[in-house]
């Protein structure tokens, strides 16, 4: 006769394992959400006016371009890669936009040119990585030097943007319920929604996770690993071009020193948002939370008033250490 005890005993264990796996899966994002709650609570308790909803909206307004760039970086890091060129591509985009507008080009032409330029640079780096088996660090480092150098070929000075369309978009405020956001915020949120949909509900999104999780297994399953890698760097270049357009709205100028260090801020936002540096795990929502963390740090330092802006980098460094250690703990438990 069959022993019923041996059939039913493993069930509670399986149930516990199933409950534990999602906790592991969402642990980094949950930790980021908790961190944001703590930081916001500290700000509300210590600073008058910090609880105003407009403070949070201002973080999105001031970091819309970074959010777009970080979304592109999320695709790259999910495949286990890295893109060091994004800040330089953003700066180059602002220079090209300013130069073309200064020479009388219509905005309807300048916008697609800027996006095409960013995509082309990303495509070139992706092809180099795939066909010549160059490490992403080296390929994108070359792209960074190329883009930043082209900025100074165009001009060593700042180029102001006074095109009427650019000025209108830059100054536009979309009001609702007593608060306002900029057009750049709407663009950034649209990019976030599109990226989240692509990663969650498309074949390409599943390929991105598979390539980051285990490239060899993905190749054995018949997935187009090379095409996926080239595509994510092209997406990152496209997002960098769009981020450059948004930064040109924000700064109303093109300058070779714009976006200095933005590649590190984008990587920090993605990692703090819970995406594993080794690839295969992460969410666009986490990247949004990571950008919010960076913005809250800057806002708290501004409210404090007596701290140097360099404290922003110090806190970002500390949080990166914490989240990298957290990632290691999660990956070891999965094994």
Query: Model confidence over 107-116: pLDDT tens digits?
Result: 999 999 999 9
Measured distance CA(274)–CA(286) in Å, rounded: 6
Over residues 196-211, the mean pLDDT reads: 96
Judge whether residue 212 has pLDDT over 50: yes
Measured distance CA(299)–CA(83) in Å, rounded: 27
Examine residue 123 and state whether it is found in any structural domain, yes or no: yes
Examine residue 323 and state whether it is found in any structural domain, yes or no: no
Helix (H, G, I), strand (E, B) or coil at 159: strand
CB atoms within 10 A of CB 40: 18
Tokens of 19: 């409950």
Judge whether residue 18 has pLDDT over 60: no
Examine residue 84 and state whether it is found in any structural domain, yes or no: yes
Examine residue 90 and state whether it is found in any structural domain, yes or no: yes
Give the number of domains in the chain: 1
Over residues 230-257, the mean pLDDT reads: 97
Q: In which residue are the tokens 């149930």 written? A: 15
pTM, two decimals, is: 0.90
Confidence of residue 153 (pLDDT cuts 50, 70, 90): very high
Note the pLDDT tens digit of each residue in 282-323.
999 999 999 999 999 999 999 988 877 788 888 888 888 888
| pLDDT at position 22 | 42
Cross-strand bridge partners of residue 176: 179
Examine residue 39 and state whether it is found in any structural domain, yes or no: no
Confidence of residue 333 (pLDDT cuts 50, 70, 90): low
Judge whether residue 9 has pLDDT over 90: no
Q: In which residue are the tokens 């219509």 written? A: 106
Q: What share of the chain is helix, strand, coil (3-state, %, to 5)?
A: 75, 5, 20
| Pair 133, 189: CB distance under 8 Å | no
Cross-strand bridge partners of residue 179: 176
| pLDDT at position 329 | 75
Examine residue 160 and state whether it is found in any structural domain, yes or no: yes
Examine residue 220 and state whether it is found in any structural domain, yes or no: yes
Over residues 89-102, the mean pLDDT reads: 98
Over residues 218-228, the mean pLDDT reads: 91
Exposure of 186 by Cβ count < 10 A (0-12 exposed, 13-18 middle, 19+ buried)? middle
| pLDDT at position 129 | 96
Examine residue 288 and state whether it is found in any structural domain, yes or no: no
Question: Which structural domain, as residue segments, surrounds residue 202?
Answer: 51-259+276-281
| Cβ-based neighbours of 217, under 8 Å, separated by 6 or more | 210
| pLDDT at position 1 | 41
Average pLDDT, rounded, for the chain:
90
Beta strands in the chain, from DSSP E residues, in sequence order: 159-160, 174-176, 179-181, 253-254
Measured distance CA(237)–CA(89) in Å, rounded: 7
**What is the share, in percent, of the chain residues with pLDDT greater than 70?**
91
Measured distance CA(181)–CA(271) in Å, rounded: 26
């Amino acid at each position: 006769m069959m022993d019923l005890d041996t059939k039913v005993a493993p069930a509670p264990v399986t149930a516990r394992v199933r409950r534990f796996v999602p906790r592991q899966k969402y642990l980094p994002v949950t930790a980021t959400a908790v961190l944001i709650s703590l930081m916001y609570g500290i700000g509300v308790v210590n600073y008058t006016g910090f609880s105003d909803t407009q403070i949070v909206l201002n973080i999105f307004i001031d970091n819309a371009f970074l959010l777009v760039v970080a979304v592109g970086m999320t695709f790259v890091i999910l495949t286990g890669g890295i893109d060091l060129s994004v800040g330089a591509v953003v700066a180059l985009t602002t220079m090209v936009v300013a130069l073309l507008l200064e020479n009388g080009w219509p905005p309807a032409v300048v916008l697609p040119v800027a996006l095409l330029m960013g995509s082309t640079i990303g495509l070139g780096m992706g092809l180099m990585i795939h066909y010549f088996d160059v490490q992403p660090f080296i390929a994108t480092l070359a792209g960074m030097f190329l883009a930043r150098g082209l900025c100074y070929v165009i001009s060593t000075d700042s180029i102001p943007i006074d095109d009427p369309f650019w000025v209108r978009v830059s100054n536009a405020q979309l009001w609702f319920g007593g608060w306002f956001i900029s057009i750049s915020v709407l663009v950034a949120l649209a990019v976030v929604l599109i990226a989240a949909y692509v990663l969650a509900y498309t074949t390409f999104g599943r390929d991105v996770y598979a390539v980051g999780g285990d490239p060899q297994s993905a190749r054995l399953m018949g997935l187009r690993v090379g095409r996926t890698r080239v595509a994510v760097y092209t997406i990152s270049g496209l997002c960098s071009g769009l981020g450059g357009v948004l930064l040109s709205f924000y700064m109303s100028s093109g300058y070779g020193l714009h976006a200095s260090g933005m590649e590190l801020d984008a990587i920090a936002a993605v990692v703090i948002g819970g995406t594993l540096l080794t690839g295969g795990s992460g969410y666009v929502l986490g990247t949004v939370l990571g950008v919010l963390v960076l913005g809250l740090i800057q806002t708290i330092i501004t409210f404090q008033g007596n701290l140097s802006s360099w404290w922003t980098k110090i806190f970002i460094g500390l949080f990166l250490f914490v989240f990298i250690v957290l990632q290691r703990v999660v990956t070891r438990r999965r094994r």
